[in-house]
């Protein structure tokens, strides 16, 4: 296929959003190039097990997205080295050594999960049975994690770990952790039907289509307990169980719960934008080589 620079669109990030964007651009007759820094497509979803609010398979979504990339120039294990502006095009240097000229750039660089060990009081990486939402998805997929034992009877989910937290340096709401916690709580209940499951939340921010139904289902059909209070501290008792302290703010009493497993809903931190904007919010033009002013 002959590439026309003005019709070329560079999509940065091979997660679900980037894949979807590239596929749609192709349908519109443009020539997308999808650049992904890791060696596979799918982003965080590739490591996930099932998706809210319908428990569809994460792998199926990634597969479906990949299948729609027919005609898209996909470049894995590739990063952006620099970008500058030409008269009506962008000039992009890739880590593979190739140079791309394109008419537009789509930034779909996604997010990173908040490093849960930074909320020191929750003891991630210190106490034996404290894991994150991402660890739990991995366990759903592989069944392998020494922190999740076979006889789990009590599980806690801590919402807003590193979200809406001035002290942790991230004041934003991560938007999807509440619904993810509900999904994971339901999945845990399916794995361990005998288990009591507690969600410790500040506010339940369930804005999407069918999310509220999912919440009702978690309460009604799965008996998941929702405690309105942010977890204040986590410890470990002599049996290695997790001891969690929070306030049940609706009854106004401190509560202490001993659990077999604590899942921290690590929040979402936006990844830094890879594009070099100037003060006016534009990508600066390519510097002309100055002549006669070399400093030696």
- Binding segment for another protein (CB under 8 A), chosen from 36-44, 94-102, 178-186, 222-230, is 222-230
Burial of 282: CB neighbours in 10 Å, binned 0-12, 13-18, 19+ = exposed
- Closest to another protein by CB, 63 vs 121, is 121
For residue 46, what are the CA distances in angstroms to 41, 88, 128, 271?
7, 36, 26, 18
For residue 93 the two structure tokens come to 């240097």
Q: Is 148 in the site for another protein (CB under 8 A)?
A: no
248 binds another protein (CB under 8 A): yes
Minimum distance, C-beta of residue 241 to another protein, in the bound complex (Å)? 9
**Between 203 and 213, CB nearer to another protein:** 203
Among 57, 63, 120, 221, binds another protein (CB under 8 A): 120
Candidate list 51, 230, 275, 286; residue touching another protein; CB under 8 A: 230
- How far apart CA 84 and CA 102 sit, in angstroms, is 11
146 binds another protein (CB under 8 A): no
User: Can you read off the two tokens belonging to residue 22?
Assistant: 């590239």
Kindly indicate which of the ranges 55-63, 123-131, 269-277, 286-294 contains the residues binding another protein, using the contact rule CB under 8 A: 123-131
Do 85 and 282 form a contact (C-beta atoms < 8 A)?
yes
What the block records as the tokens of 268 is: 């979402």
**Among all chains, which residue has been given the structure tokens 């952790």?**
177
114 scored as a contact of another protein (CB under 8 A): no
Residue 145 binding another protein, by CB under 8 A:
no
- Stretch touching another protein by CB under 8 A, among 9-17, 28-36, 53-61, 246-254: 246-254
State how far the Cα of 104 lies from the Cα of 112, in Å rounded to an integer. Answer: 25
Strands 233-236 and 242-248: antiparallel
The region, left, alpha or beta by phi > 0 then psi within -120 to 50, assigned to residue 210 is: left
Residues that bind another protein (CB under 8 A): 117, 120-121, 123-128, 160, 164-168, 202-203, 228-233, 235-238, 240, 243, 245-249, 252-255
């Amino acid at each position: 296929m002959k590439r026309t620079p003005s019709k070329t669109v560079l999509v940065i990030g091979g997660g679900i959003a980037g894949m979807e964007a590239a596929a749609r651009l192709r349908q519109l007759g443009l020539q997308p190039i999808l650049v992904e820094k890791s060696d596979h497509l799918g982003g965080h979803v590739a490591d996930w097990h099932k998706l809210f609010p319908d428990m569809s398979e994460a792998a199926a979504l990634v597969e479906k997205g990949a299948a729609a990339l027919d005609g898209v120039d996909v470049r894995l294990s590739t990063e952006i080295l620099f970008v500058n502006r030409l008269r009506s095009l962008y000039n992009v240097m890739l880590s593979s050594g190739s140079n791309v000229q394109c008419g537009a750039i789509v930034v779909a660089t996604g997010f990173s999960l908040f490093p849960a060990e930074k909320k020191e009081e929750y003891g991630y990486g210190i106490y034996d049975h404290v894991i994150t939402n991402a660890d739990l998805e991995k366990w759903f997929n592989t069944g392998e994690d020494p922190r999740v034992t076979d006889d789990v009877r009590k599980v806690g989910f801590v919402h807003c770990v590193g979200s809406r937290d001035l002290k942790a340096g991230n004041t934003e709401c991560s938007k999807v952790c509440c619904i993810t916690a509900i999904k994971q709580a339901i999945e845990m209940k399916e794995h361990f039907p005998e288990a009591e499951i507690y969600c410790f939340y500040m506010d339940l921010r369930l804005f999407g289509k069918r999310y509220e139904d999912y919440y009702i289902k978690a309460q009604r059909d799965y008996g998941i307990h929702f405690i309105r209070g942010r977890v204040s501290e986590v410890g470990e008792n002599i049996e290695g169980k997790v001891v969690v302290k929070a306030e049940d703010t609706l009854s106004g009493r401190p509560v202490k719960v001993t659990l077999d497993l604590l899942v921290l809903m690590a929040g979402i931190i936006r990844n830094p934008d890879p594009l070099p904007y100037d003060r006016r919010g534009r990508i600066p033009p390519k510097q002309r080589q100055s002549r006669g002013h070399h400093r030696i």
